[in-house]
Amino acid sequence: MGLEPECSVHQAAQRGDLDRICQVLEADPTQANDRDEQNVTALHWAAINGHTDCCELLLENGAEVDATGGELEATALHWSARNGQLNSMHLLVKYGANLKAVDKQGFNALHLTTHSSYIMPLIFVLQQDAYRTKDAIDSKDPQGHTSLMWAAFQGDAMSVQILLKHGASVHTSDEAGLTPLHWAVVAGSRLCMERIIAQGAQLTAKDSTEKTAADLAREVTTYSNYVAALYALGRDREGRPIDRKLGSKSQRFLIYLVPFLGYGALFQVVPHLPWFLAGPSFVVGVAMIHLGIGLFVLDRHKRNALKQSPYYLSLLSMSLAWLFLMWFNYVMPATPMYWKSNMLVGLLLFTVITNLCWCASISPGRCPEPKSAEERQSDVNELASHGMLTGLSFCITCLARRPLRSKHCHMCGVCIPRHDHHCPWIDNCVGLRNHRSFIVMLIAAEIGIPLYLSLVYQYYLDQIPDVLVARYRDHLFSAWLTAAVQFNGALFCSSVWIFVINLWLLILLAMQLAQIARQLTTFEASNVGRYGFMGGRGDTNMSTQNGFIEQQAERMIQAGVPRDQVQKQLYGCSDHKKKSLSKLCLGIGSSLMSIVGLDLYTRGKGGQGLSRSRAAANPFDRGLVNNCLDFWTAGDYLGVDYERLYDVPT
């Protein structure tokens, strides 16, 4: 329905009424540059509201692209930049808008885009020729603030990261002598401080009042975050490198040695304890090994230190090592009549070990990155011209175009083609190049473990003396089980451990095979569960970036806001909930699910996504047979290059 005839061109531009603008301009083309009572042109209103079709019509009819207006005497580009209107910005730049023009406050397009905290518009501006030099990136407003200072002041860690990647200086200072690090301290953003310090910021730099960043942090009560940023970078409170007692090689050696010896000791000791102490003692022992590794071997100040270490891989290796030792020393010699089964166990064990080594050591694949700044500029401009410069098509960490079905892994630091998930149990991502080996390993384990356990059962049947079983006939538990523990407790405990591992491996394999049959990855199944489609969120800004909510919570608590109010303001709910045994158990269960990796299907709604995947649009689904053939040939069967997949294959 069209607007009323008396609607002005400015109102039509504000509302996106293209027909009314056409009608006005046909009657009087000069109205393309008319100003309203606020001294603003129609182009300003169309640009700030993202009506690119209206913008283009006005520009084609002679609208001045750099016309200034409003109280701040800003251009249409300034208005769209302040509000993160990427499509409007791209169109205005295409028509020759001056990116270096400043408004009445002295802000240029880069300053205003940084103020918006929208990442993609910031990347777009930084790729333009006007901001390809360090002087342009470090351009200052009248108070001497650079874009990096503004990003740091806003606690916008993503914008800080993008500006640093494009060469923004951490050594500049404003009229008050404040550096970007000083402004990050004012914001209290640990991530911003960490990234600026990592880029080489001088911790001893002083402002006009002779205060360093540390002095200012104490004054504005953000010193704890400042120290945490230093610790995360391996420095002490004074900024000096922390002398690590363990080198990387010694650390890795202990990560493998401690679980092997610790669990071995538990397998030997626990069977000799009274039955009511055996279970709790084993759990306490496992917890002590886990905490010991985290506190004394790994760097506890490093985020995700446990998941980024080979600790979980060492547990899997330890389990395989003990399985081999028990089988080779006890089970195989005692069951010669089952030589075929023993040969098959040995073959399957070899298959599991070789594929585990392959999964852990080989690259899961890596998406191509631009070879030059010119290539990156071309990619960004091309995506922007098609309205595709979003988080789905461009990686803000690698600053590279993202193929479909890929994902940036923050653990591995690269974009992985056909990314499934990051698996701490192989200390690697599961992606295009190692996914098949991962599945072969799971299949071999699911065949081999039950076969091994059946041999263990046969071992006990043949080896336990009847007199030992008779001795425990009146025992609280099964006489046979009690006799088995007493006869060879290490084998019994290790077999129970292997049985538990087999259960979650079975669930993992079932989910993986179901996803392969439907041409889905774990990441895509999670997206279907969360958002209803495979791609996930299309764009990002400050409110959704990693660590932002936590940083806001820290600042509010430091300002004296009660914790329940912090929870209510940030999440819309209070954290004052009744504690109960069931909730405690749920919390422990969530932790265990995270450890074994099944949280991918619970916390990430991957299981829900898998069940909903039939209803969700999946342009890659080619039917069961073709999907499986595509998986086992890494795309060769359907002729798909997943490392350069930018359009849905036909």
Instruction: List pLDDT tens digits, range 39-48.
Output: 999 999 999 9
Mean pLDDT of 69-82: 95
What gap in Å lies between CA 637 and CA 440, rounded to an integer?
19
Percent of the residues in the chain that have a pLDDT greater than 90, as a whole number: 64
Asked if the model's pLDDT at residue 546 lies above 50, the reply is no
Identify the pLDDT of residue 471. Answer: 82
- What torsion do the CA atoms of 596, 599, 600, 605 make, to the nearest 10 degrees? 160
What gap in Å lies between CA 638 and CA 650, rounded to an integer?
10
Asked if the model's pLDDT at residue 78 lies above 70, the reply is yes
What gap in Å lies between CA 265 and CA 285, rounded to an integer?
9
What gap in Å lies between CA 156 and CA 154, rounded to an integer?
5
Identify the pLDDT of residue 104. Answer: 95
Residue count (the chain): 650
Tell me which of 395, 398, 412, 423 is the catalytic residue. 423
Residue whose token pair is 């099944």: 598
Identify the pLDDT of residue 128. Answer: 96
CATH class label, 133-241: mainly alpha
Nearest to 125 by CA among 113, 135, 107, 116: 113
Mean pLDDT of 112-118: 96
pLDDT tens by residue, 505-528? 999 999 999 999 999 999 988 887
Q: Are 535 and 620 in contact, with CB atoms under 8 Å apart?
A: no
Joined together, the tokens standing for residue 520 give: 């889905």
Identify the pLDDT of residue 469. Answer: 82
Region of 599 on the Ramachandran plot (φ > 0 left; ψ -120 to 50 alpha; else beta): alpha
Identify the pLDDT of residue 615. Answer: 52
Identify the pLDDT of residue 532. Answer: 59
Helix (H) or strand (E) holding 400: strand 400-401
253 vs 537: which has the higher pLDDT: 253
Asked if the model's pLDDT at residue 106 lies above 50, the reply is yes
599 vs 442: which has the higher pLDDT: 442
What gap in Å lies between CA 241 and CA 259, rounded to an integer?
29
Mean pLDDT of 364-386: 94
Q: List the domain boundaries for the chain.
A: 133-241, 248-362+434-517
Nearest to 523 by CA among 152, 107, 515: 515
Class of residue 215 by CB neighbours under 10 A (exposed 0-12, middle 13-18, buried 19+)? middle
**Cα maximum dimension of the chain:** 109
Asked if the model's pLDDT at residue 534 lies above 80, the reply is no
Asked if the model's pLDDT at residue 419 lies above 80, the reply is yes
What mean pLDDT is reported for the chain? 86
Q: Rounded to an integer, what is the distance from CA 51 to the centroid of its chain?
A: 33
pLDDT band at 268 (very low <50, low <70, confident <90, very high): confident
Identify the pLDDT of residue 5. Answer: 56
What gap in Å lies between CA 43 and CA 77, rounded to an integer?
10
Q: Let me know if 357 is a catalytic residue.
A: no
pLDDT band at 553 (very low <50, low <70, confident <90, very high): low
Q: Which of 279-288, 539-548, 551-560 has the highest mean pLDDT?
A: 279-288
Q: Are 227 and 259 in contact, with CB atoms under 8 Å apart?
A: no
Class of residue 291 by CB neighbours under 10 A (exposed 0-12, middle 13-18, buried 19+)? exposed
pLDDT band at 533 (very low <50, low <70, confident <90, very high): low
What gap in Å lies between CA 482 and CA 460, rounded to an integer?
11
pLDDT band at 556 (very low <50, low <70, confident <90, very high): low
Identify the pLDDT of residue 604. Answer: 52
Asked if the model's pLDDT at residue 278 lies above 90, the reply is no
Nearest to 441 by CA among 520, 505, 496: 505
Asked if the model's pLDDT at residue 420 lies above 90, the reply is yes
Identify the pLDDT of residue 45. Answer: 96
Nearest to 197 by CA among 224, 166, 173, 227: 227
pLDDT tens by residue, 304-352? 777 788 899 999 999 999 999 999 999 999 999 999 999 999 999 999 9
What secondary structure does DSSP assign to 351-387, as a single string? HHHHHHHHHHHS--------SSHHHHHHHHHHHHHTT
pLDDT tens by residue, 188-226? 999 999 999 999 999 999 999 999 999 999 999 999 999
pLDDT band at 542 (very low <50, low <70, confident <90, very high): very low
What gap in Å lies between CA 196 and CA 171, rounded to an integer?
10
Contacts of 60 (CB under 8 A, 6+ apart): none
- What torsion do the CA atoms of 375, 114, 137, 381 make, to the nearest 10 degrees? 20
Q: List strand residue ranges (DSSP E) for 76-150, in order.
A: none
What gap in Å lies between CA 192 and CA 184, rounded to an integer?
6
Identify the pLDDT of residue 579. Answer: 46
Identify the pLDDT of residue 296. Answer: 84
Identify the pLDDT of residue 274. Answer: 80
Q: Which of 235-249, 254-268, 288-302, 562-576 has the highest mean pLDDT?
A: 254-268
What gap in Å lies between CA 281 and CA 271, rounded to an integer?
10
pTM, rounded to two decimals: 0.83
Contacts of 423 (CB under 8 A, 6+ apart): 359, 429, 430, 438, 597
Asked if the model's pLDDT at residue 165 lies above 80, the reply is yes
Asked if the model's pLDDT at residue 23 lies above 50, the reply is yes
Helix (H) or strand (E) holding 65: none
Helix (H) or strand (E) holding 401: strand 400-401
The CA distances from residue 137 to 141, 275, 432, 496, in Å, are 12, 69, 37, 61
pLDDT band at 539 (very low <50, low <70, confident <90, very high): very low
At 473, the amino acid letter reads: R
Identify the pLDDT of residue 304. Answer: 72
Identify the pLDDT of residue 578. Answer: 44
What gap in Å lies between CA 274 and CA 282, rounded to an integer?
12
Residue whose token pair is 């501006």: 125
Q: Are 42 and 34 in contact, with CB atoms under 8 Å apart?
A: yes
